[in-house]
């Protein structure tokens, strides 16, 4: 049978059951949805939101949060090392002089810069930092074909390219650049910081390790047999994609059918309601390619997390978040200096946009202290 899965691993496939005569895998997270979609054939339906190339840039304010008049906002673009053009929002505090510290913000996984990352960026700009919220490669207004595909390599590079851009701004001190990763982009941020020594401090909020969850399932529950069967099915899906000349996608993300776990209801309440809905977000109005998990299967993001040291890491997670164990195990693997901050009573999605829950005062002190 199928089990509900967290947003971060949603390949957003059919609810379904495998056809008669086939083994029904009770696999946590990504495997469950990928297998169900591929074998039921639902991935053949291509949702309209997945067909579009990089969407034209919108000139009006189209964020899920209110504009802060204390902050200057500018739409910008820049290229990654792989030649993908990223679309981003640059936020700067008004009435400042001299060179400032800067922060690049990414996530959540399947979101766009008009959602959580933009909120974090604008808030930190009000507090005196130059900040940048970006759409990852192949999503939102950023470039890349096919649409709605993720990779730990490309997405780690997205962070480093954001550091490139910030470091070229005339009012940014390139020796004082940090990054914030939200949800699945927490793992990307840690990987980027480990390899990119220009990053001087890292905050990860309500993090997921996407390679862990896709390769081992939720709470590491996937067996070798299940992993093998999933990879075999993904291989069959590749044949189908190759024959058709285009990738298959699952149905629209975060739709509820009743009886889902609370964290899935929480995802729906953010991504599919006026609270956080945005038409360009994969998690609001689209779906990932069914073969997206392939890039994550053999590439553990946090292998070199200890090499972030002596640069500091702040882990922030909700006490009641289903994903809390990702921060706890990453914290254990990281070297000093490090800090784990658990927010009482908070869920995973509370740290997306709840201004009374996200510890911006703590984040401000952390970067103020470590981006000197």
Give 246-304 as a DSSP string: S--B-S-TT---SS--HHHHHHHHHHSSTTT--TT-HHHH---BTTGGGGGTT--TTTT
143/146 Cα distance (integer angstroms): 9
Q: Is the pLDDT reported for residue 8 higher than 90?
A: no
Please report the pLDDT score of residue 226 as a whole number: 95
CA 176 to chain centroid, in Å, comes to: 24
Average pLDDT over every residue of 112-122: 98
The three state secondary structure string of 34-77 is HHHHHHHCHHHCCCHHHHCCCCCCCCCCCCCCCCCCCEEEEEEE
Contacts of 258 (CB under 8 A, 6+ apart): none
Share of the chain above pLDDT 70, in %: 84
Please report the pLDDT score of residue 29 as a whole number: 38
Average pLDDT, the chain: 88
Q: Which neighbouring-strand residues pair with 100?
A: 172
Which two three-digit tokens encode residue 50?
Answer: 């997945």
> How far are the Cα atoms of 86, 90, 112, 329, 352 from residue 75, in angstroms, in the given order?
11, 6, 14, 37, 22
Q: Is the pLDDT reported for residue 15 higher than 50?
A: no
Residues 22-73 have pLDDT tens digits of 222 223 334 334 434 443 444 444 444 555 555 566 678 999 999 999 999 9
Please report the pLDDT score of residue 292 as a whole number: 95
First to last CA, the chain: 53
Please report the pLDDT score of residue 250 as a whole number: 83
| Residue 181: how many other CB atoms lie within 10 Å | 30
Spell out the domains of the chain, with CATH numbers in brackets.
7-45+214-251+289-294 (no CATH), 71-209+303-370 (3.40.50.1820)
Please report the pLDDT score of residue 56 as a whole number: 60
pTM: 0.88
Residues 171-203 have pLDDT tens digits of 999 999 999 999 999 999 999 999 999 999 999
Please report the pLDDT score of residue 213 as a whole number: 95
Pairing type for strands 172-182 and 130-134 reads: unpaired
Please report the pLDDT score of residue 50 as a whole number: 56
Please report the pLDDT score of residue 205 as a whole number: 98
148/299 Cα distance (integer angstroms): 19
Contacts of 10 (CB under 8 A, 6+ apart): 30, 33, 110, 253, 254, 283, 287, 288
Structure-derived torsion over alpha carbons of residues 3, 258, 256, 292, reported in degrees to the nearest 10:
10
Confidence of residue 85 (pLDDT cuts 50, 70, 90): very high
Residues 99-110 have pLDDT tens digits of 999 999 999 999
Confidence of residue 252 (pLDDT cuts 50, 70, 90): confident
Residues 279-332 have pLDDT tens digits of 999 999 999 999 999 999 999 999 999 999 999 999 999 999 999 999 999 999
Cβ atoms 129, 105 nearer than 8 A: no
283/262 Cα distance (integer angstroms): 17
């Amino acid at each position: 049978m199928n089990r509900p899965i967290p947003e971060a691993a949603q390949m957003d496939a059919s609810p379904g059951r495998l056809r008669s005569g086939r083994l029904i895998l009770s696999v946590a997270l990504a495997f469950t949805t990928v297998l169900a979609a591929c074998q039921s054939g639902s991935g053949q339906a291509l949702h309209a939101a997945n067909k579009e190339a990089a969407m034209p840039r919108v000139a009006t304010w189209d964020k899920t949060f209110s504009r802060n008049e204390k902050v200057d906002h500018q739409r910008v673009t820049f290229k990654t090392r792989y030649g993908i053009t990223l679309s981003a929002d640059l936020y700067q505090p008004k009435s400042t002089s001299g060179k400032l510290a800067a922060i690049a913000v990414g996530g959540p996984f399947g979101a766009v810069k008009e959602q959580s990352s933009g909120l974090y960026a604008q808030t930190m700009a009000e507090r005196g930092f130059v900040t940048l919220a970006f759409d990852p490669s192949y999503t939102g207004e950023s470039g890349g074909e096919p649409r709605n595909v993720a990779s730990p390599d490309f997405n780690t590079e997205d962070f480093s390219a954001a550091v490139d851009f910030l470091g070229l701004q005339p009012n940014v001190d390139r020796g004082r650049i940090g990054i914030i990763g939200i949800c699945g982009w927490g793992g990307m941020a840690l990987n980027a910081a480990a390899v990119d020594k220009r990053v001087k401090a890292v905050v990860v909020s309500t993090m997921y390790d996407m390679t862990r969850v896709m390769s081992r399932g939720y709470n590491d529950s996937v067996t070798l047999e299940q992993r093998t069967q999933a990879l075999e099915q993904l291989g069959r899906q590749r044949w189908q994609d190759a024959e058709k000349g285009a990738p298959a996608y699952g149905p629209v993300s975060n739709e509820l059918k009743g009886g889902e776990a609370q964290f899935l209801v929480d995802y729906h309440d953010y991504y599919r309601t006026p609270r956080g809905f945005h038409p360009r977000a994969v998690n609001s109005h689209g779906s990932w390619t069914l073969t997206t998990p392939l890039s994550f299967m053999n590439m553990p993001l946090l292998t070199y997390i200890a090499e972030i040291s002596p640069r500091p890491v702040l882990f922030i997670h909700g006490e009641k978040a289903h994903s809390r164990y990702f921060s706890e195990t990453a914290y254990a693997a990281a070297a000093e200096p490090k800090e784990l901050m658990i927010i009482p009573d908070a869920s995973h999605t509370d740290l997306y946009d709840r201004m009374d829950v996200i510890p911006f005062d703590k984040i401000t002190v952390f970067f103020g202290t470590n981006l000197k």
